Amino acid sequence: MGEAPEKPSQPLDLTVAGIDRVKDALRVKKKEQANRRQAILKVADEYRVLVDQVQLVDLSDFDRSVVTNVEALGQSLNLIELISTRVADLIQLKADREQAKKTLLDQIHVLWDRLNVSPNVQGDVLDACRGISADALRHAEDELTRLQHLKRTKLGELLLDVRRQIAALWSSLEVDATAAASSFPAMQVPVVDATEELLALHESELKRLDAKATARRALLKYIEKREEIIGERSQYEASLHDPDRLIGRVATARLLREEKLQAKIKHDLPKWTKLLLDKLPAWEQEYCTPFVLRGERYLDTIARVDADYIKQKELDRMEKDRLKREKKAAATDDKLGVSTPKLKLAKGPSPPPLTKRMSCPNQMTTAVPPSHHNAVALARDSSKSKLANPETY
């Protein structure tokens, strides 16, 4: 069989339209090459940054070429895929190392606090662990190993320290000693029997109590606001008995303060009370213990204080009504001319009665006591009678 005849070559299209088509195709090719070059340079830059972050040292020839002179590798589509795969691997490696370093440092910081490691030593370790290189992770692992060994040698001291902190939290939470002992029996284990498991159990209890105390402190702020308003209410109601409080140059300012305080008592006190009535039961349910303040469950304190206030207001109202009735009765007696008996406040001679002088009806004077008959008075009267009637003698 003979060879297939060659196809005759197409004649060159040298027309203006043909030349324009060639130019358009050339422009498209150049644009594709430029876009591909930019894509390669972009992915290569991302790869270089990741290599620097994870501090890779065992690079292959291909990796080294990507880092140093990626344009020497050409512009094939396969090159972009290869570099993109390396970038994805480094991104995953970076995330894994960051998570591993965080886990190590979290454990290290806990042991630093527990073992009272000096700030200078901590700073040196953190400098050595800077970054996410393999060396940085190795330094962190070495520090954790050192601290764990030191912890094992000081188990007794650490256990006593944790127990002191637990006791302090019990005190701040107002936990009864009997209830505390029953809630955490491990507290009674002798220190000589300390183990890592026993210490871990104490540390877990300390963490739980610390969270409980933190939540309690938030509620104490609300309680403080409520009791502050109750104290201001007591002072305000006591000042109402002073009739001269709104007299003088400061009367206007004092009136404004009283109006603000009235609004505060009317709006803020119910708001804080409602907030506590919502949050206190939730706190007690979460921690399975009553919220005790000053030796009394605070929900009971709220009920008692409110009941006492209502009772006192009722007593004040009754006293006010009694005084009104007495005042009204006294006014009625004055109109009828009836004297109202009054209690004597102190023993002693009663003052002399008052009477009106005839010459000055509006002026009061002491009444003249009745005269007593005696010899001098009779003689004086007899002399006056003789002078008045001389012919009778």
Mean pLDDT, rounded, for 213-240: 90
pLDDT class of 56 with cuts at 50, 70, 90? confident
Q: Is the dihedral of CA 347, 351, 353, 356 positive or negative?
A: negative
Which pLDDT belongs to residue 199? Answer: 92
Please check whether residue 198 is in contact with residue 152, taking contact to mean a CB–CB distance below 8 angstroms.
Answer: no
Residue 384 has pLDDT above 50, yes or no: no
Which pLDDT belongs to residue 340? Answer: 52
Q: The whole model's pTM is what?
A: 0.56
Q: Is 76 left (phi over 0), alpha (psi -120 to 50) or beta?
A: beta
Please check whether residue 236 is in contact with residue 265, taking contact to mean a CB–CB distance below 8 angstroms.
Answer: yes
Residue 362 has pLDDT above 50, yes or no: no
Which pLDDT belongs to residue 171? Answer: 92
**Terminus-to-terminus CA distance in the chain, angstroms?**
210
Q: How far apart are CA 57 and CA 69, in angstroms?
A: 17
Which pLDDT belongs to residue 359? Answer: 40
CA neighbor of 151 nearest in space, from 193, 196, 189? 196
* Count of beta carbons in the 10 Å neighbourhood of residue 334: 11
Please check whether residue 158 is in contact with residue 114, taking contact to mean a CB–CB distance below 8 angstroms.
Answer: yes
Q: How far apart are CA 114 and CA 206, in angstroms?
A: 12
Q: Which helix (H) or strand (E) holds 15?
A: none
Q: How far apart are CA 223 and CA 272, in angstroms?
A: 8
Buried b (16+ CB within 10 A) or exposed e, 239-248: eeeeeeeeee
Average pLDDT for the chain: 79
pLDDT class of 347 with cuts at 50, 70, 90? very low
Mean pLDDT, rounded, for 291-299: 94
Which pLDDT belongs to residue 392? Answer: 42
Q: How far apart are CA 43 and CA 50, in angstroms?
A: 11
Residue 107 has pLDDT above 50, yes or no: yes
Tell me the three state secondary structure of residue 389.
coil
Least confident among 57-61, 135-139, 302-306: 57-61
Least confident among 8-22, 76-90, 148-162, 201-215: 8-22
What the chain holds in terms of domains, given with CATH numbers, is 16-159 (no CATH), 212-328 (1.20.58.1520)
Please give the residue that has the higher pLDDT: either 142 or 60: 142
Token pair of 309, please? 């206030």
Which pLDDT belongs to residue 48? Answer: 83
Indicate the length of the chain as a whole number.
393
pLDDT class of 14 with cuts at 50, 70, 90? low
Chain centroid to CA 323: 47
Residue 358 has pLDDT above 70, yes or no: no
